[in-house]
Each structure stands twice: as C-alpha cells, then as structure tokens.
Structure 1
Amino acid sequence: MKKIRKNTQLSLLNTKQAGRPAKVDIGIRHIRRERFSKLTALHLTIKVRDNKADVQNKRILKALHHAIKRARLQRLRVIHYTLEYNHAHLVVEAADNKILHRGMQAFGISLAKAINKIKQLKGAVYKHRYHFRKLTSRRELKNALHYVFRNGVKHKRSTSLFDLYNSLPAEKRITADMNIIIERSLSLSKLRVELREILDVTKVFYLDSYYLWN
C-alpha cells in the first residue's frame, strides 16, 4: 500500500468523518501544484491566522466582495464562496495555473490588507498558502457547491443554507421554494443583487440546474 505523505492536498470531503481530528495545523507542504491548461473548476480553501480570526462580519464580507472583483480583473472566474470564522471557501474556474496564480494573488492581497486595516493589525494574515482541489466531473462540482453552501450549518454557525455569509442567494439554478425564501428576506434580496454583479454564477462549465439540485 502506497504511503501518503503528511500535509499533501487530499480530498476535502470526509463523509464518514473518519480519523482523529488534527490538533495542530502545520500548513500545506510546498510541493509543485498540479498543472492544468484548460478551463478547470477548483475548490479553494483559505485559512486565516488565529490572531486575525473572527473575520465573519459585514465589513470583512464587503472586503471579500471587493477582493473577488480584483480576482476577476485577472480573469479568474469566481462562482461561489462561504466566509466562516477563520477561513473561507471559494469555488472558481481558471483556464490555467497562471490565471489561477494571478487571480488568487490579487484576491489574497486585497483581502489581507482589508483585514489588517479593519482589525488595526499588521503582519501576515493567512495561516499558509491556499489549498486547492480540481473538480473534474459534474458530480464533484455539485458536491463541492453543496459543501460550500452547507458550511455554515456544518460549523454550527447557521441553521439554514441561507445566510449573509455564503453566496447561495446569487444562484440562478435554485428551486422555486428556495427562491421564495430569498424574495421574502430584504437582506437576502439585496445581497442577491450585489452578488450577481460580482460572481460568475451564470457561466459554470458543464453544470445544469437539474444536476445541481437533484
């Protein structure tokens, strides 16, 4: 049996919740990232240092939206996100590693500067370099999106898929009953308008509405 090196990039999905929880997060090993040269969907995780944590507030959410705009200027297509207490998840599409690197560099610098300014701190913001996982099929992309949408519930931050800190309200593939929930909420309706201007929710490669919600 092939031995797996510690701290290499593995699947984020652990449906059986197997294994002992890690006590210390020592980061992502600096090995060469997997290469790709065609439009590819990716699931990214960005972790914040403990002294800069508690990033889940409306000011930093606004900064996150600005960082997404900066990434899009570098042709990185940001599809969805969730912002949690000390980390964020992004689902993006990039044509190659160069676009991913430039887009995430723009995103990371913009968000880090905002976090330091809001918290009136200096120094490094991120715990280590971002983790990414390629999504090579419709099913993998669907699972990643559902993981992102349910992250608030997973961390016991929310009891619903709908909240101000994930991008589900922007999704145009949701069912009619889900759409009613958004339309009845003034805050979610306002968020939807903003998100549809900054996200690429209508351009998801090889994913249709039926496959996403069934």
Structure 2
Amino acid sequence: MDHSARAATKDAPRRRRRRSCTPPRPSSTLLARALQLSLPSPRTWGGRRAGAGRKLTPGRRPGVPHRTRPLHIAAHPVHVTLRSGSVHCLRADRVFPAVRRALAASHRRFRILHFTVQDDHLHLIVEADDPGALGRGVRGLAVRVARAVNRALGRRGAVWGDRYHARALTSPRAVRNALVYVLMNRRKHCEGERGLDPCSSALWFNGWREPVAMVRAPAPVGRARTWLAAIGWRRHGLLGIEERPRGDRHR
C-alpha cells in the first residue's frame, strides 16, 4: 500500500464497535453470595428455643422466675422467702442477733408479723398497705439484713442468691398453714427438734393451744391489721406446739 492509500485509510472515520447485549457472566463468588441471601437462614437468637437459657447447676434449687409479680391486695398477708447464696450461718450466735434487729426495724406501711431464720434462708409473714409498700419493704429489709450479716461476719459481698419469693395468703386456712410452716420450720430441717424455735418469732406468738411462757423482751414483730392474719385463721383452730409443716403446699 502506497503512502496516499495509508493516509486515506487513516483519515477515514472509524467504525464503532457494537456493544454486546449479553451481560457479563457473574463470578462464582457473586453467585454464592446471591444464593446465600436467597435461602432462609436458620433462627439463631431471640424467642424460645430448645436447650436455650441458663443451665441448672446440679444440686442447686431452681431460682425464682423473672416474671411480673401479681398485684398485691392489702387485705392479704404475704409469705415471703429470702434465700442466701453464700452465707450458711444465719442462726449462729454472732449473726442471729443482728438479723433479728434488722427484722425489727420494719416500717409502718410494711409489717413483719412472723419470721423464722434458718441456716441459709428466712421465712416471713408480712402485711403491706399497697403494692409499692410490699416491694419497697422487702427490698429494704433484704438490704438491712445483708448489711447486718456482713458486719457481724466481717465480710463483704452479696448475701442473697436470688430474688425474693412472695405468695399471697388469701384464705384463713392458707394463713394458718403458713403459720405452722413458718413458726415450726425448724422441724422440717431437723427431725428431732422439739419445743419452740428460739430463732423465730414463736416466743412472741399468742395463738398457741397450750400455755406457753411469753418472753418479756420487746417483740421484734408487728401486730396484724388484716382480718385474715388477726382473726380469720383462728377459725381452723389454734396452733399446737407439736405440729409440723406438711411441706411446701401450705399456701
């Protein structure tokens, strides 16, 4: 090709390349990602699942469920239980007096009527004027007792291992059964136990069938104001000093 032909070819307009209408093939990585997004992923969190939740330690009592507590009615006494997770000597000579003083420091709107102190837990029968008084009263009591125990033992740290358990006593029979359960609770833990438990309010209780010598020391408990706790339970008979708790179904 001569010089003039090459010049003509150079000056001629260039043809545009046709663009292919076929999209480029995606890579294998993109295909894998698209497939993964299109498939429903298994549920891995949230909601109820088999085997989920904290596992129960062998030999340990199940904790109090974190549910909304029933609305408290002022006319119903309440059986309250507080359990320790780290202290197992609440009845010891150097600890129990401090616990009893803390129990005696209750308020007017929250009244402790009866109690028993066991090695690692407390049972109480209380009254409260309203739901707020019940919650504040139990929490305040738990703080007072924990501070008293730590001070007596020269220790620090938590005393209670769980939320408090509360059960309303809605009938005269339920109140009487709870009285036996609380005041005679030591016999549930010690088969050969006789007489009245000195680590309870049994010595200040005035509902015994038999004559009992009352102590002269000021009572560490309040006076019942509800009909159920003051009068109603007596319809089913006074308490005998040899009665025993029938288990946890007393409510």
Fold match (TM-score > 0.5): yes
| SS at structure 2 position matched to 1:102 | helix
- RMSD across aligned C-alpha pairs, in angstroms? 2.2
1:117 to 143, 151, 154: 151
1:60 to 88, 95, 98: 95
Distance 1:59 1:201 in 2: 27
Question: Where does residue 167 of structure 1 map in the other structure?
Answer: 201
2:82 to 32, 46, 65: 46
> C-alpha displacement at 1:31, in angstroms?
1.1
Question: Where does residue 82 of structure 1 map in the other structure?
Answer: 116
CA 1:94–1:202: 2 relative to 1, 3 Å: closer
Gaps of 5+ in 1: 1-21, 184-188
> C-alpha displacement at 1:84, in angstroms?
0.4
1:135 to 158, 169, 183: 169
1:33 to 63, 69, 77: 69
> C-alpha displacement at 1:213, in angstroms?
1.3
| SS at structure 2 position matched to 1:46 | strand
Gaps of 5+ in 2: 1-57, 240-251
**1:153 corresponds to 2:177:** no
CA 1:157–1:110: 2 relative to 1, 3 Å: farther
1:129-163: CA deviation from partner (whole Å, max 9, x where unpaired): 11010100000000000011211111007622412
> What is the one-letter code of the residue matched to 1:194?
P
Distance 2:116 2:91 in 1: 10
Greater percentage in helix: 1
> C-alpha displacement at 1:124, in angstroms?
0.8
Question: Where does residue 5 of structure 1 map in the other structure?
Answer: none
User: What's the TM-score once normalised by structure 2's chain length?
Assistant: 0.65
> C-alpha displacement at 1:93, in angstroms?
1.0
Instruction: Please tell me whether Structure 1 or Structure 2 has the larger radius of gyration of its CA atoms.
Output: 2
Distance 2:78 2:130 in 1: 11
Distance 2:195 2:64 in 1: 29
Distance 1:130 1:155 in 2: 20
1:205 to 227, 240, 244: 227
CA contact (8 A) 2:72 2:130 kept: yes
CA contact (8 A) 2:172 2:235 kept: no
User: What's the TM-score once normalised by structure 1's chain length?
Assistant: 0.75
**1:71 corresponds to 2:95:** no
